[in-house]
Amino acid sequence: MPTFSLAGNCALVTGSSQGIGYAIAQALHVAGARVVFHGKEAAQPALPAGSSYLAVDLLSPDGPAQLVRSALGACADLNLLVCNAGGFFDVPFLEMTSETFQKTLDLNVRANYFVAQAFARELVARKRPGSIVTTSSTNGFQPEDDSSAYDISKGAMVMLTRTLAQSLAPHGIRVNGIAPGLIRTPLTAGLLNTPKQQHYEKKILLGRLGEPEDCAGAAVFLLSPAARYITGQIIVIDGGLTLGQIGRI
């Protein structure tokens, strides 16, 4: 029976200085993997023993390739990748500028695409199998008010996951994704303790906002031998937010 253990593996988790990425990176460490954390800022979060942290701006042209090169320098046996980096910069659709739209696509899609490409090239060159997990969102399936660029970028991440799964399967690299719903992170801090939070809690079948740690188990599973026959799939982690049509009155 395949296990959920990641002992003997090394993982790079992009956007893991806080929020969902940080929780996933911590969970991979608990599962036995060596972990390379990543963020944009030089100030690093608290790291578990044996882990490392890299500060790289993924919006820079060479950022994705530079990050993978540095991760291999920190952990030569790198074979797992979580493409989690992303951001939200939206304004209402009629106020959206080309610059803001492009920044959203560059960080949420382009950077993840080319991090995955650089990672896969290294594994293929070494004839090493591996696994990738991407972070999309329920916004990749359902739109939200004043979130057009973000919604489009997360929809693109759903297809990125599927097309990379097809492209990389011949090389023994599996690609799957998670689609979190409303998770309590710095990205969602603005709606906490507001009528919006109360509305969402009525819509979420499990009755509460998610925590970053709620996303970590699915990522561990998808990267582990227990998921060895799974590729091109997206696990929705939303407490039932997108299941019901109306929610509780």
Looking at the annotation, which residues are catalytic? 150
Taking the CB of residue 186, how many other CB atoms lie within 10 A of it? Answer: 8
DSSP codes of every residue in 179-192 = EE-SB-SGGGGGGT
Taken in order 158, 164, 170, 173, the sign of the CA dihedral is: negative
| Best CA proximity match to 32, nearest among 1, 2, 11 | 11
Nearest by Cα to 161 from 215, 211, 112: 112
Q: Rounded to an integer, what distance in angstroms lies between the CA atom of residue 74 and that of residue 85? A: 19
What is residue 199's three-state secondary structure?
helix
For residue 131, report the phi and psi dihedrals to the nearest 5 degrees.
-150, 145
